[in-house]
Structure 1
Amino acid sequence: MQTNERKTIVSELTTLIETGNAHVSLEETINDIPADLRAEIPPSLPYSIWQLLEHIRITQWDIVEFCLSPDHKSPQWPDEYWPEKTDSVSDEKWTETIEQIKKDRKRFFDLLKNEDTDLYAPLAHGDGQNIFREALLIADHTSYHLGEILVLRRLLKCWKNS
């Protein structure tokens, strides 16, 4: 793959994960959520904003670890990918989760930007996955759940014009 082509692909994947292109970014989606609404579960829905955010963190961490560590053991699906319901989420825990998402995102971007990383070669420890696919998986999974967070914010009347 030519250097310019690779740089373009890495840049597009990074932008897709960071900003979502066609949807609101993680940062904008979770900005200014009142602490008392983080764990609120609207009627007829199974989860809170907190549970969705923590699920994004766990899943992204698992994908990044899978890409970087051949010996990585994924959490048990679905129980270990979803946090339990809670009555409240401290500012400390909220910030910790957001910072971990950003840290794992950076680790993945470092892998993408590393010229020695073959974006298309199957990972030796996987069953056909490659780094390009895993980047799309992070973007797709995150955007899906960010959309859900926005719906919850609208239902909880804590989104723009709601």
Structure 2
Amino acid sequence: MAQQNQSVSETTSILRQQLIALLTGSNAHQSFEDAVKNLSPDLRGIKPDKLPYSIWQLVDHIRIAQWDILEFSRNPNYQSPPWPSGYWTKALAPESDAEWKQALTQIQQDLAAFVALLNDPACDLFTPFTYGDGQNLLREALLIADHTAYHVGEIIIIRRLLDAWEG
């Protein structure tokens, strides 16, 4: 039995490492950091024809959604913002370079906080939270990765349309 438990522990440890690599790396896609790197400030608020969002709106949406998932994952009393108004800014561009940098910083800090949850052996990956609708830490990690990757792709498409992508 001890061998089986050790095997489960090792498997869970490997899964935690893989989840962290998924959230912080760029194996099958560009990273968030690469998608916004060297983006000219004058392009942050442009919404190309027939597309619903600017790069700023996508960045801010990633920030809000990731923060929401983090808070949901660690705080049983947390209340999510209203959907969809609480997840999307109406402003096409950030008000200032400071607001842009703050959004990028929060995305990094919240991701680091979520990775800390994944690294905490007291945080079980599989057991549903005592609140919510059966969500667990594994599901929330996959949700952050999936959601961010989707919108990173949109950011890159907008950058291509604006002739601002060399990747």
TM-score range, shorter chain: over 0.9
Q: 1:109 aligns with which of 111, 115, 126?
A: 115
The residue type equivalent to 1:71 in the other structure is N
Shift of 1:18: 1.1
Taking the TM superposition and a 5 Å limit, the aligned residue runs for 1:1-162 are: 2-87=8-93, 89-160=95-166
Matched residue of 1:71: which SS? coil
3-state secondary structure, aligned to 2:122: coil
SS in 1 for 2:124: coil
CA RMSD of the aligned region, Å?
1.3
The 8 Å contact of residues 39 and 89 in structure 1, kept in 2 or not, is answered as no
C-alpha displacement of 1:87 = 4.8
2:54 and 2:93 in contact (8 A); partners too = no
- Structure 2 counterpart of 1:79, which letter? S
Letter in 2 for 1:85: A
Partner Cα separation in structure 1 for residue 92 and residue 139 of structure 2: 34
Q: Give me the whole-angstrom Cα distance separating, in 2, the residues matched to 1:112 and 1:77.
A: 27
CA contact (8 A) 1:13 1:135 kept: yes
TM-score by length of 1: 0.95
How many residues matched? 161
The answer to whether the Cα contact below 8 Å between 2:53 and 2:92 also exists between their aligned partners in 1 is no
Q: Which amino acid aligns with 1:44?
A: K
Cα separation, 2, equivalents of 1:13 and 1:47: 29
Q: Percent identity of the aligned residues? A: 45
- Local SS of the residue matching 1:9: helix
Specify whether residues 99 and 87 from structure 1 end up closer, same or farther in structure 2 by C-alpha distance, changes over 3 A only: closer
CA drift at 1:85: 2.6
Q: Secondary structure at the match of 2:145?
A: helix
Structure 1 stretches of 5 or more lacking a match? none
Which AA in structure 2 matches 1:57? R
Deviation at 1:88, TM superposition (A): 5.0
Q: Which has the larger radius of gyration?
A: 2
1:19 Cα deviation after fit:
1.7
Tell me how far apart the structure 2 counterparts of residues 14 and 89 of structure 1 sit (CA, whole Å): 32
